[in-house]
């Protein structure tokens, strides 16, 4: 299993800390062997949970210029038309994907194109499904002018557990569909905003895989497709 670069330092120091604590227990608390063994078992489970969080599985990416693919693993929790006040200042169709702590937390470009806008917003840490999380939590906003023409806005949103958002894009970058644009540590969600005439391909409650699940199809006069 491949480990994502964002988790290597955390995993190293977590493993080191757990080893030190366990060795100290066995040395200074040798009379309580049962407790020490239970603590060792709990330490092992904790490390495995953190390890699976930072896994980076191989993905056979779906590439298609008029399709919008899921930017993250998770579950579709919002499909609705809303006013988007930060960039478009008009009504857009919002699709939101909630990422639980057991999901892969890599975030991927939903479309290929050029980054026209990027902004990081410090903020609060409401739970990710809270209505205010999209506008009040710590977040990043990325707008890509897709190869198909329409602009697509997507937003990493920190949650109650996720206290750090990492991004790899800036304005002017050319990005490829399915490639990583960031990482959210320990649970959160991603919002996607597309034109209201976009055809949604997912349903509420549906599970998604980043870079593979088609969530919408943009309206365009021409398109091409291939798999990679």
Nearest-Å Rg of the Cα atoms of the chain is 20
- Which residues lie closer than 8 Å to 212 by C-beta, 6 or more apart? 59, 60, 61, 62, 69, 70, 178
Alpha carbon distance 14, 67 (integer Å): 40
- Which residues lie closer than 8 Å to 191 by C-beta, 6 or more apart? 78, 94, 95, 96, 134, 154, 155, 157
| From 43, 112, 146, 188, active-site residue | 188
**Residue 100 a catalytic site member:** no
Burial state string for 171-193 with b = 16 or more CB within 10 A and e = fewer than 16: eeeebbbbebbbbbbbbbbbbbb
Quickly count: other Cβ atoms within 10 Å of residue 97's Cβ.
29
DSSP code, position 198: P
- What is the token pair recorded at 69? 């693919």
- Which residues lie closer than 8 Å to 187 by C-beta, 6 or more apart? 99, 100, 101, 103, 105, 128, 159, 160, 161, 162
Residues marked as catalytic: 188
């Amino acid at each position: 299993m491949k480990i994502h670069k964002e988790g290597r330092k955390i995993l190293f120091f977590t493993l080191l800390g757990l080893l030190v604590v366990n060795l100290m227990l066995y040395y200074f608390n040798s009379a309580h062997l049962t407790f020490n063994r239970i603590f060792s078992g709990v330490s092992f489970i904790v490390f495995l949970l953190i390890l699976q969080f930072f896994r980076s599985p191989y993905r056979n990416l779906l590439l298609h210029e008029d399709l919008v693919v899921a930017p993250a693993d998770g579950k579709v929790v919002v499909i609705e038309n809303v006013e988007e006040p930060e960039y478009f200042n008009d009504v857009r169709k919002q699709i939101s994907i909630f990422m639980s702590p057991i999901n892969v937390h890599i975030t991927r470009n939903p479309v290929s194109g050029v980054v026209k806008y990027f902004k990081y917003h410090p903020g609060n840490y409401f739970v990710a499904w809270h209505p205010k999380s999209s506008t009040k939590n710590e977040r990043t906003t990325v707008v890509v002018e897709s190869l198909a023409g329409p602009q697509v806005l997507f937003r990493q949103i920190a949650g109650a557990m996720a206290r750090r958002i990492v991004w790899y894009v800036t304005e002017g970058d050319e990005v490829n569909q399915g490639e990583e644009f960031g990482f959210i540590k320990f649970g959160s969600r991603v919002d996607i905003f597309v034109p209201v005439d976009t055809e949604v391909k997912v349903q509420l409650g549906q599970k998604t895989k980043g870079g593979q699940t088609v969530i919408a199809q943009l309206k365009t006069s021409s398109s091409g497709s291939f798999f990679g």
